[in-house]
Amino acid sequence: MTKFSKIKLYNTLSRRKEIFKPIKKGFVGIYTCGPTVYWYQHIGNLRSYIFADVLKRVFLYDKYKVKHVINVTDVGHLTSDADEGEDKMEKAVLREHKKAEVIANFYWQEFKNDFKKLNIAEPNIWCKATQHIKEQIKLIKKLEKKGVTYKTSDGIYFDTSKLKDYGKLAKLNKQGLEAGKRIEIGEKKNITDFALWKFSPLMNANGKLLPKRQQEWESPWGVGFPGWHIECSAMSMKYLGEHIDIHTGGIDHIPVHHTNEIAQSETATGKKFVNYWLHGDFLNFKGEKISKSTGGLYTISELQEKGFNPLAFRYLTFITHYRDPLNFSLESLQSAQDAYNRLKNIISELKNDKRISRKYLKQFNSAINDDLDVPKALSILWKLVRDKKAMGKIHTIKEMDKIFGLDLQKKEKINISASIQKLLQERENARKNKNWQKSDELRDKIKSLGYLVEDTPKGQKLKKI
Ligand code: AMP
Ligand code: ZN
């Protein structure tokens, strides 16, 4: 493959596709906002990690050296992204009566299991917020020195009115926000100001006395815990430097979380924080973002219990471009699974002619390098498998699967149940006795149970329908 070809990426900052230029030749640093580990991640969350995985694969395919960092939020993320409500981890502590660290490690491990099932490569670095308290305090001190912080009775806040370009990522209209100010801002000076450090609260918003927090630390400002946004600024700086190539997340992070990360990082360093901001659109359910009230909060394990292959979910996410919303339903997942199985069946029949199709590979490359146009790449793959004249299918598909990560050429190990094995044995006996009618009846019965039987010189072969 050509080295370092032109990769175009849609940058939320400029609202257009740009040709990627690395800070350091041949190297790309990627930071992906990670999970809050108070509960299982749902398939909506996982869509955004599949998108980040494809991004990384595109760079690796192009022979870049990639350093990928994902954080693990195990403190400070309140029930609303805008510093309101209770800490999600502390709520989990009350729900599960366990140590916060035990809860965090459990859901983090579940998340890693999902990565494995979905063929998402683990990052080079996982970093937990609670293991970087020192770095976060240091960064807040730096911001304090720059004169952009102030203290209220519940914490240390970032004064967003001190920045001329606050909200540039989301193109926030601050005047509009201030004019339409209906939300209670309490002691905050501006509606967009956000917490850097929170003092351990004694009471919740309704005046109810709260139990002592499990996770709290000494700081120059008092005992408490870091705000949610500061962890990403501090940890991306530590592992990728002050100026990084790419930062990813879901579109919900644009107006608050990523906007605040930019404010903190750029004020502290005086440098541009991120060159390319990439955001994945939502996985929806009944037309709305998956949520408790809308529904659709499935986990991968729940889909498996319903008989779905996790890679069929990966395939489903490839039907729509990452920047478009994708509606999820069990029916659409079933169609994706059928298509995925059909594709694998066709591929399993191909003969290896030891060649490669430059024509198809070229089309494929230009699709994936055009802002990760995976739906187009998938249609090129289908065209290739259906093209009766095309040569080099096996090796070309092998190359393509480096991006898809769909195990397209991996032979399925079929776990044949005892009852199907019995039917196969009966059919073999019927065939030995030349009882073709019985043999055909048994074939139909096995088919109704979801398997095709083929008679090969080596005996009966099963294939999942
Ligand atoms: P959270 O654990 O809530 O911080 O979310 C983890 C990641 O999933 C973030 O990048 C979110 O933007 C993303 N996300 C949350 N809900 C959805 C959804 N329904 N569809 C796609 N991405 C989502
Ligand atoms: Zn983040």
DSSP letters, 89-146, are: HHHHHHHHTS-HHHHHHHHHHHHHHHHHHTTPPPPSEEEEGGGGHHHHHHHHHHHHHT
Cα(46) to centroid of ligand 1, in Å?
A: 7
CA distances from residue 285 to 81, 201, 290, 292 in whole angstroms, order as listed: 21, 36, 5, 11
Cα(233) to centroid of ligand 1, in Å?
A: 18
User: Could you say which ligand is closest to the alpha carbon of residue 232?
Assistant: 2
Cα(10) to centroid of ligand 2, in Å?
A: 19
Could you give the 3-state DSSP secondary structure of residue 58? helix
pLDDT at 220: 97
pLDDT at 174: 64
Ligand 1 site, CB within 6 A: 33, 35-36, 44-45, 47-48, 249-250, 252-253, 280, 282-283, 289-290
The number of the ligand 1 atom at minimal distance from the alpha carbon of 41 is 2
pLDDT at 180: 53
Phi-psi region of 406 (alpha: psi -120 to 50; beta: other; left: phi over 0): alpha
Cα(253) to centroid of ligand 1, in Å?
A: 8
pLDDT at 167: 93
Cα(295) to centroid of ligand 1, in Å?
A: 15
Question: ∠ CA(115), CA(116), CA(121), 5° rounding?
Answer: 65
Q: Whose CA is nearest to atom 23 of ligand 1?
A: 45
pLDDT in tens, 279-335: 999 999 999 999 878 889 999 999 999 999 999 999 999 999 999 999 999 999 999
Q: Whose CA is nearest to atom 19 of ligand 1?
A: 44
pLDDT in tens, 150-194: 999 999 999 999 999 999 999 877 665 665 555 668 899 999 999
pLDDT at 291: 81
pLDDT at 124: 98
Which of the listed residues 12, 48, 281 should we mutate to test ligand 1's pocket, taking the one with most ligand atoms within 8 A of CB?
Answer: 48
Q: Splitting the chain (465 residues) into consecutive groups of 10 residues, what average pLDDT does each group show? A: 78 97 97 95 97 98 97 87 79 89 95 98 97 98 98 95 94 65 79 94 78 91 94 98 98 96 98 98 94 88 95 98 97 96 94 94 97 98 96 97 97 78 92 93 90 85 80
Cα(297) to centroid of ligand 1, in Å?
A: 12
pLDDT at 176: 58
Which run of H or of E encompasses 463? Answer: strand 459-464
CA distances from residue 42 to 79, 285, 289, 319 in whole angstroms, order as listed: 17, 12, 12, 19
The number of the ligand 1 atom at minimal distance from the alpha carbon of 32 is 10
